[in-house]
Structure 1
Amino acid sequence: MKRMLWCLAPLVAIVASVLAQQPPVLDRELFFGDPEIIGAQISPDGQYIAFIKPWNKTRNIWVKKADEPFEKAKLITADTKRPIPGYFWSRDGKFILFVQDQGGDENYNVFAVNPADPPAAGSEAPPARNITDAKAVRAQIQLVPRSDPDTIYVGLNDRDKAWHDLYKIKISTGERTLVSKNTDRIVGSVFDNKDQLRLAVRSADNGDTEILRADPDGFKKIYTCNVFEECTPIKFHKDNKRVYMETNKGDDVNFTRLVLLDPETGNTELVESDPDNRVDFGGAVISELNDELIATVYNDDKQRFYWKDKKYEADYNFLKKQLGDKQIGFGSHTKDEQLWLISASSDREPGETFLFDRKTRKLTQQYRIREKLPREHLASMQPVRYPS
């Protein structure tokens, strides 16, 4: 019996040691509760930063001056029934636009609020105007034009619940003008660099996707991919003639890739596919100043950037040196593209947001997502690959 006890004693000691080294069990609220601050966006002039933060236990929009602490932020929306699902600044920075539904019906309307306005009567936030003002209708924002900052183009299924007609809406007044009735099964509109409607995407009866050219006398089909393929226009090239498109059309194509589509001929030209031949095309970073392609992105085990602009590449390398082996994301930016909100995340860092000044190389932390989550107790992760 004594010998058995002596044998058990080391085992008990080992188990106790292992248990002592285990990280604590973390409250799931730390992982799944509402983050304190998320979704920051800088105003076009760089003077203000908007963000999402709970108010009365509901996610709402707040605004602060760029150089002020978050504690001094002003409440912009005061919704207590539904969290704000998304928002953005108008091109001139005069308004914040957001979408909201009623009771979870997913019939989103577009609202505009002037951050400079005083609180509405009986509220802590400025008045918000419903600029789509349509019941039982789901609004789809199609374009925020550079040429007219007081305008947005929105799709509304107010005439036919199955399809969205295209409207032009004046933000400051809510004035709405019908641009085109959707009688062609259109699911998306593509505008060029001068904010002219040039292409449309149609869902065919058999499930195919069709790219249509907008001619004065109607739409003309120029490109098709079947239900097992993808063909998605992204943005017009700087020449304003061809359009960047992501597609995997073709029997010998495994991954989506970036091509240029000529709307006049329907011909495509390969721009780039994954240099490592491992993943689909992940995205394009394109300047809003000159419509130049800045970088291409691929989401592999870790995100990969392929830089086309040497200045942005130098910025990225600087950020990598400052932030280490974190995944860097480029968020909103000022109109002149000199100030950027940068995110940095990793397996043990849910996310940090910084304000980056490209000219001075100043990097200023704004906030950390889930600040109360103890990073030191999170486990590191390694990618695992195996043949399927």
Structure 2
Amino acid sequence: MRFVLVVLFALILPCPPALAAPAVPAPLPIRDFFQSPEFSDMALSPDGKHLLATVRRDEQWSLVVLRVADLAPVVNLQLGEDDYVSSLRWKDENQFLFSVDKLTGSLLDDLRFVFLTRWYVGQADGSDPTPLIGGFGGIVDLLPDDPERILVSYYSGDSTYVMRIPLRGQWPRNPMKVLTPLRVVQGIVYDSKNNPRYIWGERIHGKSGAYVRRKDRWAPLKIWDEGEPERIPLAIDEERNLVFLAASDQGEPHRIDAVHMDSGETTPVLPSRTVEPEGLLMGDAGPVAAAYQDGRLDYRFVDKDSTVAKVYAGLVAAFPGQALSFEGRSKDDRLYLVRVYGDRNPGEYFLFDTQTGRARFLLAQRSWIKPDTMAAMQPVSFKARDGLELHGYLTLPPGREAKGLPLVLMPHGGPHGVRDRWGFDPEAQLLASRGYAVLQLNFRGSDGYGSRFRTAGYGQWGDAMVRDLLDGLGWAVAQGIADPRRVCAYGASYGAFSALQAAALAPDALQCTAGYVGVYSIPLMFKSGDTSESDLGRKFMARVMPEGPEAQRMQSPAYNAARIKVPVLLAHGKMDVRAPIDQFEFMRDQLAEAGNPPEVTIVEEKEGHGFVDLDRKVAYYEKLLAFLDKHTAGNR
């Protein structure tokens, strides 16, 4: 077995050698980059004896329970053809809960709808899973000290309730429930008796609030609009009577404060940084550390003296140059489940034993990927034309000097509520393996940099957000990294929108552009697609889109088709519900009318918002690479 030794009581620790500098390998087949991971998602049972994981075999998902001692499967639940496990967790040492959704597109994994979700209760002894009575929005808490019930939220009109429901059998006729002042609950902090104490979320569209419950009534802690002062509860320390808040006063990234729950006295815990904190690791004596994705993932430690803090710090130090995600620990604090990953490492799971001081290797998510042959992703930053600081990532071909390279500008989708991150990116790795530099930028409107940065993108879908991308391209050219005669843009969803709009705003900056399952007309988004079908979706678009039909057309690539002079590739799934096929058809027809019909069109009858079938994925990327190669002087 593979082990890593971790010394608990020092922060500078013996560690395995860092990954070797990437060699210049023969490129992997396209299939290897996009084949589903062998294992994804993993949870450790409270007694530390079992692991819960999802497994992909022959393009079908299963849920398995593995015995920790020898990794032998003791439960194997095979799902339906289009099903996938969207959430899994242990209730106690014998019971686990999992949710199943229908996969309607590879880019919609985290954008599922509540009515598609089915919840089940499984058992470690292999008994058949039991459907959990539905009708709730999500699980708030597992109530580990109550073997028969869980705490859930459910929506009724414009309000959200919190209530306890049984794991088996019918709901009680008049269940005990707590009405919240929120329409959408985004976070709940509960006390040691599993009673909701603090809550935060959306009151009305665009208006959020945080509340504290005193004497069976909710009192507002803070109510805010985007960009106004925010106070988001993260955790409470009942022994010291403290609540920990993510706080922002002017839309800057959150700092973390400790506030006394009686006196209101505030004590700074961690200051604001370039990015928002992504999570707070809690120990028995309060917060241990906060995670930040500032370039690479790192942890800022608050508590450096407790045993739990030293375990976390020791594990971080034991894997230099990589990122760690702490996936859970056993109830007795002996075992810690850790996922280790990086820009060249798709992910590995380790189980750390505090008694032996060893981190035991469990499973690799993509064992066929050899990290030392992959491309490195390096954080970059520069200033946009208006002085705004922007951040992103540059992935370089292995073994190639960062000079005069063909480059693919690859904007992310979303665009709000998401961002590009440091880690293994199959598309970036594929392009780098074929000799391309890949530039991914967190343009204004991206998440993670504070609400002021996010709202700076509102109304700017086809303007300032795209100009940020072009400024990034200008930076790469000025640095000598990119050969300006061999640059193309490529993206999916909103990334496709901005890749086409970039070609319209700067016709001479690109040699080609490609859009995959994209939206191309803002006015059309208000008429078709699942976002426009709900009141919440329509209000969201009204808030973030350019205001008025004229501005919406001016900022849409389909209405700027006459300005796009470079060759275009368009790929789409006919079953796409997020960006319906009429978006593809309108963009195609507008280009044809302007005298520049798409050079390559790919329409898959049985695919949705992101292709799922591996063979169809491979065929798509073969055509994309051929298109890019053709217009960057035969790069491969």
Q: Same fold (TM over 0.5)?
A: yes
Is the Cα–Cα contact under 8 Å of residues 99 and 120 in structure 2 kept in the other structure? yes
Give CA-to-partner distance per residue, 1:287-314, whole Å, 9 cap, x none. 2xx3522222322222232331433454
Once residues 205 and 318 of structure 2 are traced to their aligned partners in structure 1, the CA distance between those partners, rounded to angstroms, is 51
Sequence identity (%): 19
Is the Cα–Cα contact under 8 Å of residues 209 and 231 in structure 1 kept in the other structure? no
Deviation at 1:368, TM superposition (A): 1.0
Partner in structure 2 of residue 26 of structure 1? 28
Deviation at 1:46, TM superposition (A): 0.9
Q: 2:297 aligns with which of 303, 306, 320?
A: 303
Once residues 300 and 106 of structure 1 are traced to their aligned partners in structure 2, the CA distance between those partners, rounded to angstroms, is 32
Kindly tell me: are residues 68 and 272 of structure 1, through their superposed partners in 2, closer, same or farther at Cα, counting changes over 3 Å? Answer: same
Kindly tell me: are residues 186 and 262 of structure 1, through their superposed partners in 2, closer, same or farther at Cα, counting changes over 3 Å? Answer: farther
- Map 1:170-189; keep pairs closer than 5 Å: 170-173=166-169, 175-176=171-172, 177-182=175-180, 185=183, 187-188=185-186, 189=188
Whether 1:200 aligns to 2:199 is yes
- Map 1:276-355; keep pairs closer than 5 Å: 277-287=273-283, 290-307=284-301, 308-310=303-305, 311-316=307-312, 318-319=314-315, 322-355=318-351
**Which structure has greater strand proportion?**
1
Kindly tell me: are residues 145 and 369 of structure 1, through their superposed partners in 2, closer, same or farther at Cα, counting changes over 3 Å? Answer: same
Is the Cα–Cα contact under 8 Å of residues 192 and 240 in structure 1 kept in the other structure? no
- 1:76 is paired with a residue whose SS is strand
Partner in structure 2 of residue 123 of structure 1? none
Kindly tell me: are residues 184 and 63 of structure 1, through their superposed partners in 2, closer, same or farther at Cα, counting changes over 3 Å? Answer: closer
Is the Cα–Cα contact under 8 Å of residues 43 and 52 in structure 2 kept in the other structure? yes
Give CA-to-partner distance per residue, 1:317-338, whole Å, 9 cap, x none. 5435643432222112111121
Is the Cα–Cα contact under 8 Å of residues 76 and 115 in structure 1 kept in the other structure? no
Kindly tell me: are residues 68 and 256 of structure 1, through their superposed partners in 2, closer, same or farther at Cα, counting changes over 3 Å? Answer: same
Q: 1:42 aligns with which of 44, 50, 56?
A: 44
Relative contact order, CA 8 A, sep 6+: which one is greater?
2
Q: What letter is aligned with 2:86?
A: P
Partner in structure 1 of residue 235 of structure 2? 235
Once residues 213 and 320 of structure 1 are traced to their aligned partners in structure 2, the CA distance between those partners, rounded to angstroms, is 35
- Map 1:1-388; keep pairs closer than 5 Å: 23-55=25-57, 57-70=59-72, 72-90=73-91, 92-101=92-101, 105-107=113-115, 108-118=117-127, 126=128, 128-134=129-135, 139-157=137-155, 159-160=156-157, 162-173=158-169, 175-176=171-172, 177-182=175-180, 185=183, 187-188=185-186, 189-205=188-204, 207-216=206-215, 218-229=217-228, 230-239=230-239, 241-248=241-248, 250-251=249-250, 254-264=252-262, 268-274=266-272, 277-287=273-283, 290-307=284-301, 308-310=303-305, 311-316=307-312, 318-319=314-315, 322-387=318-383, 388=389
Is the Cα–Cα contact under 8 Å of residues 142 and 154 in structure 1 kept in the other structure? yes
- 2:378 is paired with a residue whose SS is coil
Q: What letter is aligned with 2:62?
A: N
Once residues 33 and 89 of structure 2 are traced to their aligned partners in structure 1, the CA distance between those partners, rounded to angstroms, is 26
Once residues 182 and 314 of structure 1 are traced to their aligned partners in structure 2, the CA distance between those partners, rounded to angstroms, is 38
Kindly tell me: are residues 62 and 215 of structure 1, through their superposed partners in 2, closer, same or farther at Cα, counting changes over 3 Å? Answer: same
Kindly tell me: are residues 301 and 182 of structure 1, through their superposed partners in 2, closer, same or farther at Cα, counting changes over 3 Å? Answer: closer
Give CA-to-partner distance per residue, 1:206-245, whole Å, 9 cap, x none. 7332222223453222323332244321111243633111
Give CA-to-partner distance per residue, 1:137-167, whole Å, 9 cap, x none. x52111222442432111123x43x543222
Once residues 129 and 264 of structure 1 are traced to their aligned partners in structure 2, the CA distance between those partners, rounded to angstroms, is 44
Deviation at 1:168, TM superposition (A): 0.4
Once residues 51 and 354 of structure 1 are traced to their aligned partners in structure 2, the CA distance between those partners, rounded to angstroms, is 13
Kindly tell me: are residues 296 and 268 of structure 1, through their superposed partners in 2, closer, same or farther at Cα, counting changes over 3 Å? Answer: same
Deviation at 1:265, TM superposition (A): 5.9
| Structure 1 residue ranges without an equivalent (≥5) | 1-20, 119-125
Partner in structure 2 of residue 6 of structure 1? none
Q: What letter is aligned with 1:218?
A: R
- Higher mean C-alpha displacement, 263-272 vs 194-203: 263-272
Kindly tell me: are residues 116 and 79 of structure 1, through their superposed partners in 2, closer, same or farther at Cα, counting changes over 3 Å? Answer: farther
- 1:111 is paired with a residue whose SS is strand
Once residues 83 and 202 of structure 1 are traced to their aligned partners in structure 2, the CA distance between those partners, rounded to angstroms, is 28
Once residues 201 and 380 of structure 2 are traced to their aligned partners in structure 1, the CA distance between those partners, rounded to angstroms, is 39
Once residues 204 and 184 of structure 1 are traced to their aligned partners in structure 2, the CA distance between those partners, rounded to angstroms, is 5
Once residues 227 and 81 of structure 2 are traced to their aligned partners in structure 1, the CA distance between those partners, rounded to angstroms, is 43
Kindly tell me: are residues 240 and 142 of structure 1, through their superposed partners in 2, closer, same or farther at Cα, counting changes over 3 Å? Answer: farther
Deviation at 1:367, TM superposition (A): 1.0
- 1:385 is paired with a residue whose SS is strand
Q: What letter is aligned with 1:244?
A: F
Q: What letter is aligned with 2:379?
A: P
Once residues 201 and 264 of structure 2 are traced to their aligned partners in structure 1, the CA distance between those partners, rounded to angstroms, is 15
Once residues 315 and 241 of structure 1 are traced to their aligned partners in structure 2, the CA distance between those partners, rounded to angstroms, is 26
Once residues 213 and 322 of structure 1 are traced to their aligned partners in structure 2, the CA distance between those partners, rounded to angstroms, is 40
Once residues 182 and 253 of structure 2 are traced to their aligned partners in structure 1, the CA distance between those partners, rounded to angstroms, is 29
Is the Cα–Cα contact under 8 Å of residues 50 and 67 in structure 2 kept in the other structure? yes
Q: What letter is aligned with 2:32?
A: L
Deviation at 1:345, TM superposition (A): 1.7
Is the Cα–Cα contact under 8 Å of residues 213 and 263 in structure 1 kept in the other structure? no
- Higher mean C-alpha displacement, 54-63 vs 198-207: 198-207
Once residues 214 and 288 of structure 2 are traced to their aligned partners in structure 1, the CA distance between those partners, rounded to angstroms, is 31
Is the Cα–Cα contact under 8 Å of residues 42 and 334 in structure 1 kept in the other structure? yes
Once residues 313 and 329 of structure 1 are traced to their aligned partners in structure 2, the CA distance between those partners, rounded to angstroms, is 15
Q: What letter is aligned with 2:299?
A: F
Once residues 344 and 184 of structure 1 are traced to their aligned partners in structure 2, the CA distance between those partners, rounded to angstroms, is 37
Give CA-to-partner distance per residue, 1:58-90, whole Å, 9 cap, x none. 2221011101235x4530353333111110000
Kindly tell me: are residues 35 and 213 of structure 1, through their superposed partners in 2, closer, same or farther at Cα, counting changes over 3 Å? Answer: same
Q: What letter is aligned with 1:258?
A: I
| Structure 2 residue ranges without an equivalent (≥5) | 1-22, 105-112, 384-388, 390-636
Kindly tell me: are residues 192 and 240 of structure 1, through their superposed partners in 2, closer, same or farther at Cα, counting changes over 3 Å? Answer: farther
Is the Cα–Cα contact under 8 Å of residues 238 and 291 in structure 1 kept in the other structure? no
Q: What letter is aligned with 2:81?
A: T
Once residues 235 and 321 of structure 1 are traced to their aligned partners in structure 2, the CA distance between those partners, rounded to angstroms, is 26
Give CA-to-partner distance per residue, 1:97-127, whole Å, 9 cap, x none. 0112467554224211122144xxxxxxx2x
Is the Cα–Cα contact under 8 Å of residues 74 and 125 in structure 2 kept in the other structure? no
- 2:84 is paired with a residue whose SS is coil
Say what the alpha-carbon RMSD is for the aligned residues: 2.8
